[in-house]
Amino acid sequence: MTKNNDGRLDHCDPIPDFIKSGIYRVFNFIFLFLFFCTGAVFASGPYASNTILSINAEKKSIAEVLNVIENKSEYHFFYNSKLVNVDRKVTLAVDNKDIFTVLDILFKNSNIAYKVVDKDIILTESAIPSKNEKYQANKRITGIIKDQTGEPVIGANVVLKGDNGTGTITDINGRYSLDVPENAVLIISYIGYTSIEIPVKGQSEINVTLKEDSQAIEEIVVVGYGTQKKVNLVGAVAAVNIDEKISSRSISNVSSGLSGLVPGLQVSQTTSMAGNDNASLMIRGMGTVNNTSPLVVVDGMPDVDINRINMADVESISVLKDAASASIYGSRAANGVILITTRTGKKGKTSINFTGSYAIEKPSRSYDFMDDYPRALTLQQFRAASGTKRESYNFKDGTIDQWMALGMIDPLRYPNTDWFDTFMRTGTLQNYTLSATGGNDKSNFYISIGMMDKEGIQMKNDFKRYNTRFNYDYNMFNNVKVGARFDGNWSEFTYSGYADGITNNDTSDSGGGDMQYAVAGVTPYDPVTGRYGGVMAYGEDIQAYNPYAFFDSRNPKQTRQQLNGSIYLDWNVFKGFTAHIDYALSFSNYFQKRADTPTGAAYDFQTGKDIGRYYVADNVGVSDNNTTNYKTQLNGRLQYETTIAQNHNIGAMFVYSEEYWHTRSTGASRNDRIHPSTSEINAALTNVQSNSGSSASEGLRSYIGRMNYSAYDKYLLEFSFRVDGSSKFIKGHQYGFFPTVAVGWRFTEEEFLKKYLSSWLSSGKLRASWGKLGDNSGVDRFEQLETLTAMNYMSSDVVKGFVNKKMINKDLSWEVSTDINVGLDLGFLNNRLRTEIDFYNRLRTGMNRPSQMSIHLTGAYSAPRANIGDLLNRGLELNLTWKDKIGNVEYSVNLNGAYNRTVLKEWNEFLSRGWVYLDMPYHFLYVYENNGIAQTWQDIYNNTPQGLSPGDVIRKDLNGDGIIDGKDKKAYPNIQRDRPTTTYGITLQAAWKGFDISMLFNGGLGRKDFWLTDFNNTAFADRRYASTWDHWTEPWSLENRGGEWPRLGTSTDRSDNSYWLYNMNYLRMKNIMLGYNLPKKLLSKISMTNLRIYASAENLFTVTQYPGLDPEKKNSARDLYPINRSFSIGLNVSF
C-alpha cells in the first residue's frame, strides 16, 4: 500500500531563484505567446490556393519577383543568370491570377521562355543570338546529360568556354542543343555536381555523365528538435541512412540492425529467441550502474520501443553521443539518444511500394549431446572418480551393452534420445510491408501496413507482429503547416518452458525443464498414446526428468498492443521566426495468460506402468496478468534564425515541455480448472486463488534553450541548457539545471591555410564540447514517498496490519553526468576519404544506490537510496569511410571502432572485492591463476598444498606465502567481464550495372569471462545431467592425460579459477547481401518504377576462442538460446 502519487508537479517546490529570475518568465511568455499565435492563425481566414497569386511589384527586378512567387507557391525556378537576364526592372500588378498567367505577363516582350516540370520551372532564352562576333556558330552540338544513376539532369548548364553569353540548359529529358564553333570547348555544370570541360573536336553529339561533388553536397543530420548541416555540427552525432541494403535485412527488429554501423554504439544480441531477440543498446560504455539504455525518440516522441518499429518505415537514424548534442533532451539523455525519423510523403504522383522477404533459420552453434551408450560409460567413470558409486544407481553388469542392443529393436522402451533434435526445428522469418506515398502543393502523406511472422527454432516458440503507420502534412495556409503522426502495432508471443529459451536464466532453479536435465535414456513421449516418459535408462533413476513434457505442457502467451499519435502546428510568423506546438499520446497494453495442460503421470515404457511423477499436476490453474501504460507530452517551441552582415548566422530556440506517465498492473490466478480445455479465471475453483494490483504515475516539466552562431561559415558556437523538474524527488531537489557549450573551427576554410592544405585535405573541422546531463532513472516513482506494506504478527491470534516499508533520504537528488568531447573531422582527396575521431571523458557522479545503512538493516526496513557512487568512462572513437568509382563500379569501405574503459571512482564503504573496487572496471575479474592440470602426484607435491588429486587444476600461490587464500587472487584492470572494451564494424559495398553486393562484419575485443554452464561441468550430478561429447573426449584421465578438462568429479571451484576463463574476442560476419535492380527502361514498359531482388544471409560465421554458444552472451552461468544463422530471399517493388 502506498500513499497516492499522481506524478504531477502541481505541488512541487518553485524553481530556484537563479533559474526563476530569467528563464521561468521567458518560457511562460513563450508558452502563452504560442497559444496566442495559434488562436490568431485560426482566426484569420483561409489563404488562397498556392497556385493563385496576387502580386504588386513596382520597379523590381525579375529575380525579386521570382523570389516572391517562390515564397507564395510551391514552385521553384531554375536558370543560368548569365544566359537569362533576371536583373531587368519590371512593374507588375496582378490580382488572383494563376501562376502561368502571371509568368506570361512577367516575361512579355522579353526573350525569356519557361518550361514546367512538375513543380520546377526552367527558364531559358527564347532564342540564342550570337553574342560575340569573333565566333561564328557553324556547328550544332546535341546530347544528353545524365547523373551517375543514369537519370537525366534537368536544368544543367551547357556554356561555351570564353563566352558566357553563349549557352543553354537541358530540358526535361536532359537533352540540349547548342551552335558553337568547330574548336569550341563546352563547360557543363549543375549544382551538386563537378563541372567538366569537353573540347568539341568535330563531334556533333556529346553525351555526359556528371559526378557528384562531395564537397558541394550538404549532408543534413537530424538533431534534437530539428536538423543541421553536418558541416556545422559541433557535437558528437552519428547518422545512419536506412537504404535498401539495411531495411531489406532478414531481422525482426531495428536494434539488431544497428550492429557494426555506429562507433561507440554497442549492440549486443545474446539470443535469437522469437519474440525475445531484442538487442541491448549502450552508447559509450556503461554510464551508470542503474539504467544504461539510451533514450529512443521517434518523430519527436520519446520513450518509443525501438523493437516494435517496422524497419521498412525508417528513413534515417541519428545517434547523439555527447552532452552537447543530447542536452536538448536533458535528464532523459544521460545515456545518449537515438533519434529515428520515419518516412514522409513526397510531392508527385502516388507511389505504391511493396517489400517482402522469406528466411529460414538454423542455430549458428549448438552443443553436441552424447548418445546414451557413451553417456552411461561416462557416468560410470564419473562415479568411480568421485567415489559416489551406489548400489541402487550403479549400472548392472552387462546392462549398458544390453540396452544398446535392445534399443535397435524397440527404441520406445529402450530409447537413445537426441534432445536437441527433439526441442529444435527449422525456424522461419517472414517480413512484408505495403506502403503508399504521395503529395501535391498542399499536402503529402505516407501510409504503410506491415507483418512480421517469426517461427522460432525452439518448439512452440512463435512471434507475430503487425504494424501500421500514417504520416500526414498539410499546408493549411501559405505560412501555416499542420500534420499528424500515427502508428500502431499488435504482437503475440508464445513460448514453452522459459521465456529465456531452452534453459532457465534463474541459476537457483533446480526444476526439470532445462535442457541440462535432458538425458538420452528417457523417452520424450509416445506419438501414439501421447504418454510422457519418466525414467532413465536401465531403471536406475526414477528421478530422471523429461524436459519435453515440461516444454510441451506449459503454455504462456503474451499479447501486446501499442498506439502512438501526435499532432503539430508550425507557424512561420515572419521571415526566420517560427512558432511550433505539438501534442503526443502513447498507449500500450500488455496481457499474459498461462493455462498449462496436465501431463498425467509419467510412464515407464519398460514396465508399462505409471510412476509417481506429474510434470504438470491435474489441478493446474490459470493466471492472467495485465499492464497498461499511457503517456502524454506537450511541447511549445519558438525558433528564430537570421543572418547579419551576410557572414554571421544566428539561431535561437526556446521550448517548454511537459511529460506525464501512468502505469497500472493487475494480476489474478486460480487453481483447479473445471477442465483442461478451459482457460478463463472464472472456470477455476476459488479455494486457491490470488490477486494483485498496483499503479504509479510520474511527471516531468522542462524548460529548454539553444543558441547557434556561425561566423563566415567556419567559426561555430552552440550553447544550450535544460531545466528539468521531476516528481520523483521531494521539494528542494526536484529541479536540475543542465547546461552545455560547444565550439567548432572549420580550419580548411581559412585562406592562410588553404595554400598548404587544399592539395590533399578537402575539409577539416575541429570541435570540442562540455556539458552536464541529469538522470533520475535509478529512482523509483515512490522512492521519496513514505510507503506501507502488509504484515502479520502473532499475538493470541494472527493480527493483520500495515507497517512502514522503508526509510526516506530527503537529500536524494539527480545523478549528474559531466561530459567532455573533443573531435576532429577530416576529408581527403575531394572527400573520397572521410575521417571522424572523437575522444571523450564522462564522469557520472551521485549515482543512486542503497546507502551504507543497507548493510546494517535486517529486513525491518528497505534501505534508503543515496547519491553515493561515481563512475568514469573514457574512450576513443574512429570512423573511416572511403567512397569512389572505378569505371562502372561504385564502391565504398567503412571501418569504425570504439574503445571504452569504465572505472569506478567512488562507492559506499562496503565494497565486495571481486565485484566492485575503486579505480577498477565495474564487474571486474578477480580470480585465482591456474598452474595447469596436475598430471602426477609429484606435480601436486611441487605446488602449494591445496587438497588436490591428479587431474585437478592447480592454483598458483602468487604471493609465495605457502597458503592458497584470497591474497593469491589476480585482478584484471584492463579487461571487462560483461562487455568488450573495444567494438568495431566493417562495411563493404559495391555496385555495377544494377548489381550490388554488401558485407557487414562486427566484433569485440578486450573481454574475458567464465564458460560456466551445466554442459561443461565436470562435477555434474550423478543421476540426471545432460552430457555433451566433450564429457567423453575432454576430461583428464590416466588414459587421456592431454584432456582439455580436469578429471570428472573434480571439486575445484570453477567460478574463481582462471582455468575456465576464456578470451571472448570475436569477429562475426553479420550480413552479406547480393541484389539486382532491373533497368528502369524495362520497368517503365510494365508501369513499374523499381524492382529489386536480393538474397541475404545473417550471422554467417563467427571467429572466436570462446567455446560456448555465443561470445556476446550475458554475464550469466547458463547459455540460454543460440544466435540464429539465416538465409533469405526478397524483393522490393514500386509502382
- Render pLDDT for 270-291 as a digit per residue (tens, 0 to 9): 888 888 888 889 999 888 888 8
Burial label for 170, CB within 10 Å (0-12, 13-18, 19+), is buried
CA dihedral for 170, 176, 181, 186, sign (positive or negative)? positive
Q: 254: number of CA atoms within 13 Å, CB side? A: 23
In the three-class reduction of DSSP (H, G, I as helix; E, B as strand; rest coil), residue 829 is classed as coil
In this predicted structure, the answer to whether residue 875 has a pLDDT above a threshold of 80 is yes
Q: In what order do the strands lie in the sheet with 196-199?
A: 163-169, 157-160, 185-189, 196-199
Measured in residues, the chain has a length of: 1135
Q: How confident is the model at residue 239 (pLDDT cuts 50, 70, 90)?
A: confident
Interatomic CA distance for residues 269 and 1070, integer angstroms: 11
Interatomic CA distance for residues 1031 and 1046, integer angstroms: 10
Cβ contact 702:660 at 8 Å: no
Interatomic CA distance for residues 736 and 15, integer angstroms: 9
Strands 120-125 and 76-78, bridge-based pairing: parallel
- 176 belongs to a structural domain: yes
Which regions of 35-127 does DSSP assign to beta strands (E)? 52-61, 76-78, 89-98, 112-117, 120-125
pLDDT at 134: 41
DSSP 355-408: EEEEEEEEESS---BPPHHHHHHHHHHHHHHHT---TTTSPPTTHHHHHHHHHT
Q: Which three cell numbers stand for residue 365?
A: 552453434
- 892 belongs to a structural domain: no
Calculated CA dihedral for residues 986, 990, 996, 999, nearest 10 degrees: -10
- 795 belongs to a structural domain: no
- 184 belongs to a structural domain: yes
In this predicted structure, the answer to whether residue 742 has a pLDDT above a threshold of 50 is yes
For 893-905, the pLDDT digits (tens) are 999 999 999 998 8
Residue predicted with more confidence, 741 or 500: 741
Residue predicted with more confidence, 1028 or 959: 959
Q: How confident is the model at residue 365 (pLDDT cuts 50, 70, 90)?
A: confident
Q: What are phi and psi of 252, to 5 degrees?
A: -100, -5
DSSP 194-217: --EEEE-TT-SB--EEPPB-TTT-
pLDDT at 427: 93
pLDDT at 804: 73
Interatomic CA distance for residues 937 and 935, integer angstroms: 7
Q: 822: number of CA atoms within 13 Å, CB side? A: 4
Calculated CA dihedral for residues 706, 711, 716, 721, nearest 10 degrees: -20
Closest C-alpha among 471, 493, 496, 503 to residue 484: 471
Q: What are phi and psi of 641, to 5 degrees?
A: -135, 135
- 101 belongs to a structural domain: yes
Mean pLDDT of 289-304: 89
In this predicted structure, the answer to whether residue 71 has a pLDDT above a threshold of 60 is yes
Residue ranges of alpha helices (H) inside 942-1044 are 1030-1033
In the three-class reduction of DSSP (H, G, I as helix; E, B as strand; rest coil), residue 552 is classed as helix
Angle at 690 between CA 687 and CA 691, to 5 degrees: 140
How many contiguous H segments (helices) and E segments (strands) does the chain have? 14, 53
Q: How confident is the model at residue 592 (pLDDT cuts 50, 70, 90)?
A: very high
- 218 belongs to a structural domain: no
pLDDT at 508: 46
Closest C-alpha among 342, 329, 312, 309 to residue 223: 329
Cβ contact 723:15 at 8 Å: yes
Cβ contact 721:743 at 8 Å: no
The label of the residue with cell 502523406 reads 445
Q: Which three cell numbers stand for residue 402?
A: 544390453
Which regions of 645-746 does DSSP assign to beta strands (E)? 648-670, 689-711, 715-726, 735-745
Residue type, 65: V
Q: Which residues pair with 58 in a beta bridge?
A: none
In this predicted structure, the answer to whether residue 493 has a pLDDT above a threshold of 60 is yes
Q: Which residues pair with 64 in a beta bridge?
A: none
In the three-class reduction of DSSP (H, G, I as helix; E, B as strand; rest coil), residue 38 is classed as helix
Cβ contact 453:367 at 8 Å: no
Q: How confident is the model at residue 500 (pLDDT cuts 50, 70, 90)?
A: low
Interatomic CA distance for residues 482 and 46, integer angstroms: 14
Q: Which long-range contacts (CB under 8 A, 24 or more apart) does 365-368 make?
A: 365/1102, 365/1109, 365/1110, 365/1122, 365/1123, 366/420, 366/424, 366/1109, 366/1122, 367/420, 367/1015, 367/1028, 367/1109, 368/1028, 368/1029, 368/1030
Q: How far is CA 188 from the centre of its chain?
A: 44
For 456-482, the pLDDT digits (tens) are 988 888 999 999 999 999 999 888 999
Q: Which residues pair with 360 in a beta bridge?
A: 428, 1127
Domain that holds residue 147: 52-209
Q: What are phi and psi of 42, to 5 degrees?
A: -70, -20
Highest-pLDDT range among 193-202, 780-789, 1051-1060:
193-202
Q: Which three cell numbers stand for residue 1049?
A: 568429479
- 130 belongs to a structural domain: yes
Q: How far is CA 260 from the centre of its chain?
A: 11
State how many domains the chain has: 1
Cβ contact 141:200 at 8 Å: yes
- 105 belongs to a structural domain: yes
Q: Which three cell numbers stand for residue 711?
A: 561566423
Strands 295-298 and 337-342, bridge-based pairing: parallel
In this predicted structure, the answer to whether residue 422 has a pLDDT above a threshold of 90 is no
For 908-925, the pLDDT digits (tens) are 765 555 567 788 888 788
Q: What are phi and psi of 1065, to 5 degrees?
A: -60, 145
Give the Cβ contact number of residue 1039 at 10 Å: 6
Residue type, 828: F
Interatomic CA distance for residues 340 and 320, integer angstroms: 11
pLDDT at 216: 44
In this predicted structure, the answer to whether residue 1056 has a pLDDT above a threshold of 80 is no
Q: Give the CATH number, domain containing residue 110.
A: 2.60.40.1120
Look up residue 1085 and give its DSSP letter.
Answer: T
Interatomic CA distance for residues 199 and 364, integer angstroms: 59
Interatomic CA distance for residues 994 and 628, integer angstroms: 48
Which regions of 422-576 does DSSP assign to beta strands (E)? 427-439, 443-455, 462-477, 480-494, 556-574
In this predicted structure, the answer to whether residue 219 has a pLDDT above a threshold of 70 is no
Angle at 894 between CA 225 and CA 1111, to 5 degrees: 95
pLDDT at 38: 37
Closest C-alpha among 700, 703, 740, 733 to residue 25: 703
